[in-house]
Chain A
Amino acid sequence: MGKVAIIGVGQSAFVRGYPGSIRELAFEGFKEAMLDAKIATTDIDASVICSAPEYDKQRSPAGVFAEYLGLTPQPTFYVETLCSSSSTGLKLAYSLVESGLHDCVAVVGFQKMSEITSAESQERMGRGADIQWESPFGTMMPAYYATYARGHFTKYGTTPDDLALIRVKAATYGQINEKAVYRKPVTFDMFQDPENTMAGPVASPLRVGDCCANADGSSCLIVANEEKAKMFCKKPVWIKGIGSASTAVNLANRDLFSGLTVGVEAGKQAYKMAGITPKDIDVAEVHDCFTIAEMMAYENLGFAEPGGGKELIRAKETYKEGSIPVNVDGGLLSKGHPIGATGGSQVRTIVLQLRDEAGDMQVKDPQFGLIHNIGGVGLYGNVTILGRD
Chain B
Amino acid sequence: MAKKEKDLRFSKFGTVSFTATSKTNDFIDKLEEGKVCGTRCKDCGTKFFPPRADCYKCLASNMDWFDIDGVGKLVTYSKLEYAPIGFENDLPYCIAVVDFGEYKVFGRISSDLTDDDIEVGMALKAVVNKLPSAQLNYVFQKA
Contacts and interface: CB of A to CB of B under 8 A. Distances in A.
B82 A140 contact: yes
Contact of B84 (A123, A148, A154): A123
- Please classify how large the interface on chain B is, using the bins under 10, 10 to 19, 20 to 34, 35 or more: 35 or more
A146 B78 contact: yes
Interface residues of A, number: 39
Nearest to B121: A154
Residue among A136, A205, A251 with the highest chain B CB neighbour number at 10 A:
A136
A42 interface: no
Contacts of A142: 82
Contact of A138 (B50, B95, B120): B95
B83 A140 contact: yes
A135 B108 contact: no
Interface string A140-158: 1011101111110010000
B15 interface: yes
Interface in B57-105: 75-87, 90, 93, 95-97, 103-105
Contacts of A201: 79, 81
Given A123-B85, A139-B84, A140-B84, A150 B15 contact: no
B80 to A, nearest CB: 5
A121 to B, nearest CB: 9
A344 interface: no
Interface in A115-142: 119-120, 122-123, 126-127, 130-140, 142
A204 interface: yes
B23 to A, nearest CB: 11
Nearest to A140: B84
Nearest to B38: A252
A62 B26 CA distance: 41
B95 A147 contact: yes
B18 A132 contact: yes
Contact of A143 (B13, B80, B90): B80
B84 A137 contact: no
B81 A136 contact: no
A257 interface: yes
Contact of B77 (A119, A122, A147, A206): A147
B82 A136 contact: no
B41 to A, nearest CB: 15
A141 to B, nearest CB: 10
B46 interface: no
Contacts of A123: 84-86
B53 to A, nearest CB: 11
Contacts of B15: 136-138
A63 B19 CA distance: 31
B19 A131 contact: yes
A126 B83 CA distance: 10
Interface of B: 10, 13-19, 22, 49-50, 75-87, 90, 93, 95-97, 103-108, 120, 137
20 contacts: A122-B82, A132-B18, A132-B19, A132-B22, A132-B50, A134-B106, A135-B18, A137-B14, A137-B106, A138-B93, A140-B80, A140-B84, A147-B76, A151-B76, A154-B120, A204-B78, A204-B81, A252-B97, A252-B105, A253-B104
Top 4 A-B residue pairs of the complex, sorted by shortest distance between their CB atoms: A136-B14, A138-B87, A146-B78, A123-B84
Given A138-B83, A150-B120, 7 more contacts: A123-B85, A123-B86, A130-B106, A138-B90, A147-B76, A205-B78, A257-B75
